[in-house]
Structure 1
């Protein structure tokens, strides 16, 4: 047990202090402690077994990211953005709601940077023209992005499923009503902030100025396929429907969808190769991280460390609270995800909680779902790179963005927890 806690602590300290990247730490740290535990000869099999269990999750993340990136290239979301901008006009309420709608749709690709670039590129000029507070855009963007990250191809959801070796569909499908509540919550926050901005502007308050934006986002419009919009939309809806209905496994649904989309939009082998290279930078890091996590969790389980740590943790959990560890995890995630990185939280903390919860009959998938509900709060953590990207794109101070957005992030987190509780998916 002590060796297991030392391993997790070493892993967390090294990645939090940036002495090692998460990828390197996930591979080397368990190897070192596995040898110290006397399992040197068995480590290879443990690591490979763990990797094999997570291969479907890695496949899902790879092809989902590539698929939605391809749809952005083909211009699937362009008509939506243009229609929303026309709908928004000069009314701050409509502008705020339009921001939410675009961000929620574009965030389907699971890449926060792309969502920020597209949404801010489309709406920041409107905010400046109307004199709206750019921090409102930041709150709406963050809310939409974190809610849609509950999808299995989002980084946190993929990590949670990988850390606990559960089927991403078992995490995602039961959370669909919670995601719907999060979407409604995001739209409600956008409506309220838009009304507040409308009132402030009507009172003649001086426009809120932002600093200089680092925005420099250009797309190759020769890749757009406007004549294939309806085919691409039908393909996307069909693929998502098949995946949600579990007619085929999620990884296979996205593999087939990606192959069909590639043939439909870019039949030339040369263009297909170029699209793969263009999006490898987004897809590869999360895939190799998941495979490395397979080695990490495989060694933790194979050496018996995780079981010993969970038995030790049980002594600190009151028996009456054991069956409620799903709910406890959801609330614990609020402070923990704010001060811990995703990798430290999902690979260091959550497996111990899940193993402890298993002794009380709580399934790992329940803990995986609960661990994701604090994502809106985590989205403002100083450890999240997207915070600095958004601040730079908007020309805002990071501290000001956190102070302005924290109460709305907490509200959205509570909405997610309430929805998950009412639907029984974290109980």
Structure 2
């Protein structure tokens, strides 16, 4: 009964945001509240919601200061040379722009963090998309697809969680997945080619020097806003590089790193109090929207976990697998990882569901290392999940509708997962 309630709730939630009957912010709060009342959990709502809010509080804090930090970097002009360089290469060709999006997002995603990937990619390329009249949904789609594949790196999170949950060596899990990731990257580039070709056909190639055009625009913006700090580019570049290195090495918790970096950036670039207010005010809308979405997702996950809907949903999916299909458990795990990682955060999936699957698979002679690899193959779909903070950051920064983004990316993300599953089967990373 609880399982059915959970699946119905997820279906209603997805329907409401995809059809734009309700904003993601409201749906994340209203839908679980309604279903909690239907399920008879009204008296427990307080503790469940507070638990959910507590769990996302560090993420909300981190994203708030991350948005403000990179907002300062944008205002100070840190990314102006990067944008100009990209423009000089693409020569106003939408196809090259989309390829550049895939490559830039993939390179930045080497740090394994979706927040950093999206902030840097969107900050650098959104002005270019606007200048060329390109569809920003392509920017969000290709950026997310690149991150979805690169997130399989051992330090990205899912691989380490899968190995830890099943007490496996990370290298045993990851190394056979390298060809699988390469297959996923090829699919992402293929998607970029298809989407870029369509934009080139729609818009044509602009035969102008966009780097000069943008440079003039940046100079005009600098004079108008008086916020550009070209003499501090070296400092901002070092600070940003140091921040990214610290993120990768895990020197301090992410919220702490961004709080420190934000403070230094604001103090050095804009010591004047009136200018500080102007800079912070110009990014207030983005901060409020993103942080509100994060805490709304805390309400959703708190109710989903507190009512045990997520546990029952996972158990139901496992229970419906016929015994004669037991030998295909690795493939089944890969396929079911798509919906499961969409409706669940990584921690409950890898530490709660995957061990159950692995234990069941052992009865059919399937090694747990294959289950670990299979469980990671749904990451491109997981990256789309409304329960992931960086997803809301991406659509918020690009100023696109969450439902429109979901409808646009779904078939391409499913394609990524399909290609990776096929490559995994062909290379023996998982077996039939």
TM superposition score normalised by structure 2: 0.61
Q: Which residue of 1 aligns with 2:357?
A: 360
1:110 to 111, 119, 122: 119
Assess if the C-alpha contact under 8 Å between 1:30 and 1:300 holds in 2: yes
Q: How has the CA–CA distance of structure 1 residues 188 and 16 changed in structure 2, closer, same or farther, with 3 Å as cutoff?
A: closer
Q: Which residue of 1 aligns with 2:317?
A: 313
Assess if the C-alpha contact under 8 Å between 1:377 and 1:410 holds in 2: no
Assess if the C-alpha contact under 8 Å between 2:148 and 2:380 holds in 1: no
Q: Unaligned 5+ residue runs, structure 2?
A: 109-115, 158-164, 166-173, 207-213, 359-367, 386-391
Confirm or deny that 1:243 pairs with 2:247.
Answer: yes
Number of corresponding residues: 355
SS of corresponding position for 1:360: helix
Q: Which residue of 2 aligns with 1:25?
A: 27
CA distance in 1, matches of 2:412, 2:124: 19
Q: How has the CA–CA distance of structure 1 residues 49 and 390 changed in structure 2, closer, same or farther, with 3 Å as cutoff?
A: closer
Structure 1 segment 264-413 matched on structure 2, within 5 A = 264-317=268-321, 319-320=326-327, 322=329, 327-329=334-336, 332=338, 346-347=342-343, 356-361=353-358, 370-374=377-381
Deviates more, 1:4-13 or 1:242-251: 4-13
Structure 1 segment 82-161 matched on structure 2, within 5 A = 82-87=84-89, 108-110=117-119, 114=123, 116-120=125-129, 124=132, 142-144=141-143, 146-148=145-147
Q: Which residue of 1 aligns with 2:171?
A: none
Confirm or deny that 1:62 pairs with 2:69.
Answer: no
Q: Unaligned 5+ residue runs, structure 1?
A: 126-133, 159-165, 167-173, 198-206, 337-344, 379-383, 392-397
Deviation string 1:203-228 (CA, Å, 9 cap, x unpaired) is xxxx95638x9xxx976322211111
Q: Which residue of 2 aligns with 1:204?
A: none
Confirm or deny that 1:44 pairs with 2:43.
Answer: no
CA distance in 1, matches of 2:35, 2:193: 52
CA distance in 2, matches of 1:250, 1:301: 24
Deviation string 1:150-190 (CA, Å, 9 cap, x unpaired) is 799xxxx99xxxxxxx9xxxxxxx99x89996997599669
Q: How has the CA–CA distance of structure 1 residues 40 and 53 changed in structure 2, closer, same or farther, with 3 Å as cutoff?
A: same
Tell me by how many angstroms 1:311 deviates.
Answer: 2.1
TM superposition score normalised by structure 1: 0.61
Q: Which residue of 1 aligns with 2:203?
A: 210
Assess if the C-alpha contact under 8 Å between 1:99 and 1:140 holds in 2: yes
Deviation string 1:58-88 (CA, Å, 9 cap, x unpaired) is 2222222222222121111111222344456
CA RMSD, Structure 1 to Structure 2 (Å): 5.5
